[in-house]
Structures are given as structure tokens and as C-alpha cells.
Amino acid sequence: MKKLFLGLAACLALAPLSPLMAQTDSKPLRIVVPFAPGGAQDVIARYLGAKLTGKLGGTVIVDNKAGAGGIVAADAVAKATDGATVLMATGGAITVAPQLQSKLPYDPRHDLVPVALIADTPMTVAVRSDSAYKTLADALRDAKARPGQVTYASTGNGTVSHLTGALLGQAAGVTLLHVPYRGAAPALTDLMGGQVAMIVTSAASIDPMVQSGKARVLGTFSKAHLPTLGNPPTVGEAAKLRGMEVPIWVGVMAPARMPAEQVKKLSAALLEVCQLPETKQHFAQLGAVSTCGGSAELDKVIAEDSQRWANVVKLGGIKID
């Protein structure tokens, strides 16, 4: 998997100017990723960048801006005026943050516009391979016996990772102790070090640890099984809970000021890349599912996701302001 990451990063080389880039005063297309390098969104962004470079003939730069559960990156893109900056968007800054913070530096429904729906990177709950928790039921029994003492790592306060863990606790009727990190990489480091008992993160992020035998997935927040992770049960199956299918979408969004024609062209190019058989294969290796939708499809997903997390936040009384 490391070789795959390095290979994708190496593909982001300079290339001749494309017709799409010509509309942005010869500026390279910049894809802003809201997390540190190495996570699912970062790897997907670098793959898309490499393919767009070849397809459009223009330079593509991946810019990692981690912090505040994606808010730092979303704000930077919302305020971008160069006409060549887009966001590798996920729920954290778009559908979760508005439910948790009364004052955001941007309005995700007015300052950003959907470009394309790219993938679903299903969430998982996982432990170290030598954990005493052999099943999710084991972990939840322990959490019921020791309220607030069983820890789970997330990729940050206010992220989908954080709220998916909260959703699990609410549905199971237990209190889990949330431990936030700045992205999947540091969270996984502490999981391996034994500082936290579990992690709630994307299939793409946990996959390298599973492949190396260092981690075990107790359940996936998906409808279907994920063979790449050793075919673990879904959370619904493992804990006999309903409503545990959580689509963790990845999409591309642009500043609202970006010309509509430019958004349309970028959307079409992204869909072409997304629909390539090799793209589906690459994403499957990452534990992601290629979803491939246009602006309207992404807009619908955002609306549904916003309602889901509004319910979780209200029920849990979750605040991070």
C-alpha cells in the first residue's frame, strides 16, 4: 500500500497546460485536502490529480490543509479567488460542522458549490490485532460495564469519524470516551501504541494496518461486506443494531464564485476519471467504493447527510463551540 501511495504522489508531475486550466489564467488546479497526507481523502485526491493531469494536460497540485475537522481547508477554498482551487470535500466540514458550531467562517450551502460525487469510504470500528475485544459485542459489553472508560480515537473533533462513534454509542446505549486526533495517521499511531482501545476511521485508512496484520476490524458502517478488510461483519450484524449504514462520501466542491461553465467542465472531467475501470479497481484496493455522480447527486447526498448528523448531535447534546 505504501508503494501505491508513493506511486500516486509521484504521478503529480508538471504537464502541459490544458483547456480547462487556460480559463484560470494558467494557474494549476489546486485540490485542497482537509487532512494530513496518508489518509483516504489524500490518496483519492492524488489519484484524481494524476488522472486529471493526463486527461486535461494541466498541472494539478494537492495541498493538505489539516485542522479543525476540515474547517481550515473548507474556509480556504470558500475564500479562494484564483478560480483554480477546489476542495476534496467530506462530511466533516460540510454536513457536520454546521450542526456543531454556531459561527463558521464560511457557509457551506452558499459559499461552496458541489462539483462531483467521487467515492464512498465506509467507516469502520477497529482494534489492534492483539486486542482483548474479539468482536464488537465484546467492546460494547465492556463499555456498558465501565461507562465512559472505553476509548475510541477519531480523526478530530467534529469530524464524521467523531460522530460515527457517537452514533454507535447512542444506538448501543453505552458511553464511549472520544479521543480526537489531527487525522487518521496520528490516531492509528496511538491505537498501535495502546493509548486508545478502538478507532473509528475509514476503511481506506485502516486497510494498510489490516493487511499488515496489525489491526482487526470489528465492524463496518456499511450495507455490504468489505472483502479487502477480511470480510468483517457490518456493525448492524455485529451488534444487532439498526440504522448503522453510514455513507461516508467523498466529493469535490468549488468556491461559489467559480464560473458555472468551469464547474461544469471540471465535473465532466472528474466523472470520466471516476468511471474508468481502473479507478474502481484502485478505490477498491483502498477500501473505497467508486460512486460517480454529478453536481446534483452530490447536492442530494449533502442534504441527506446534514439531516443524519443533526439528529445525532441533538440526541447526544454534542457541542464543540
Q: What is the pTM of this model?
A: 0.77
Confidence band (pLDDT; 50, 70, 90) for 12?
very low
Sheet strands side by side (includes 249-255): 60-64, 29-33, 85-89, 249-255, 112-120, 289-293
Confidence band, pLDDT 50/70/90 cuts, at residue 23: very low
pLDDT recorded at residue 15: 36
Average pLDDT over residues 13-22: 39
**Distance separating alpha carbons of residues 233 and 145, to the nearest angstrom:** 23
**What pLDDT sits at residue 7?**
47
Q: pLDDT band for position 155 (50/70/90)?
A: confident
**pLDDT value at residue 321:** 57
Residue 299 pLDDT level (bands cut at 50, 70, 90): very high
With a cut of 80, say whether residue 255 has pLDDT above it.
yes
- Percent of the chain exceeding pLDDT 70 equals 91
Contact 28, 84 (CB under 8 A): yes
The rounded distance, in Å, linking the Cα atoms of 221 and 244 is 6
Single-letter amino acid, residue 99 = Q
**Position with higher pLDDT, 287 vs 76:** 76
Q: How far apart are CA 249 and CA 165, in angstroms?
A: 17
For the chain, the average pLDDT equals: 88
